[in-house]
Amino acid sequence: MKNMHKYLWVLILINTTILANDSTGYVSTGGVQYLKNKDIQMYSEDLFISKKQIKVDYQFKNLSNKDITETIIFPLPKIENYFESDFADTEKLLKSFKVQVSGKSIQPKMHVRTFIQIDDQSKPIDLTTEFQHCGFTEKEMLNPWNREDDQYDIFEEKLKKCPRPALQKVLARYQDEPIRWWSQVIYSWPQTFKANAVTKVQHQYVPLVGGSVALYAPEDSKTYCMDQNFQAGLKQAKSQNAAYSALGYILTTGANWAKPIQNFKLIIERDSNELVSFCWLGRVKKISATQFQMIEKNFIPQQDLDIIFVQKF
């Protein structure tokens, strides 16, 4: 049977959050997104989220009578090289990223892209080719993820001395301020969806977790849907001003498949010495002392997740 070859662009919508100097920043990660395709359905999604691990089990159903082969692309967020505060453990995410297809581990190919941002209103410009021609190795281009602070001045001097016209045109916009450049990691692998069959895909990784030394109301209350019951729990635990951790997960990408997700399950786990809050439109069931479960049928995600974990005193 003749295969249908296309490109499957698996995108993560990036929601960047950089908190105050006494805080740790994080960026949301998420699952796979598929450009609208009438033949591929995300039949089920089984999602587990904790501060230590994100694990997703998918079942994709090929609704057609032909095999469909795609190149799956899974981009991680763009991370800035210049930063003034602490940041989530980005290197741990890279080392922990794993993919399995039908129970077999695969090694996705890693691509590194670099960008320079001119100002806060502009999107970062992809200058990967210019960085490569300027002698940047893949390891050096990964520096925003590896967080080697002592290399920043060396890289900036390297950029300023590079004669590439396209690069210097962008750098001309900078005066005395530091050059803001970004790095993005993109994983890719070929995937065949067999005709009239279900393909199981699993990926897991350590999430990017941020936080702060204290809650900031009312901003945090709105972001994490901290309702009256949660506020009462904070008061009982004497945690109104406690330190907290937070992470984000992109759910809305699941709305881009051929049909709604027929079977969706989400489990969020907190530590035993924590309170947890997040926004959810449906029913939330507590299934253990530390786990909360949400089950939906014919699910079309309408919002992303921002989860807060507050320490008890």
| Residue in 27, 117, 133, 19 with CA at minimum distance from that of residue 75 | 27
Residue 45 near residue 61, CB atoms below 8 Å: no
Which pLDDT does position 32 carry in this prediction? 54
Token code pair at residue 301: 């995600």
| Residue in 251, 268, 225 with CA at minimum distance from that of residue 304 | 251
Q: Judge whether residue 103 has pLDDT over 60.
A: yes
* pLDDT tens digits, one per residue of 122-159: 888 899 999 999 999 998 998 888 776 667 788 989 99
Class level of CATH domain 4-311: mainly beta
Cβ atoms < 10 Å from Cβ of 100: 14
Which pLDDT does position 188 carry in this prediction? 81
Sorted by where each begins, the domain ranges of the chain are 4-311
Beta strands in 81-174 (DSSP E): 86-87, 98-101, 104-106, 109-116, 125-126
Token code pair at residue 262: 């027929």
Q: Which DSSP category does 161 fall into? A: H
Which pLDDT does position 18 carry in this prediction? 30
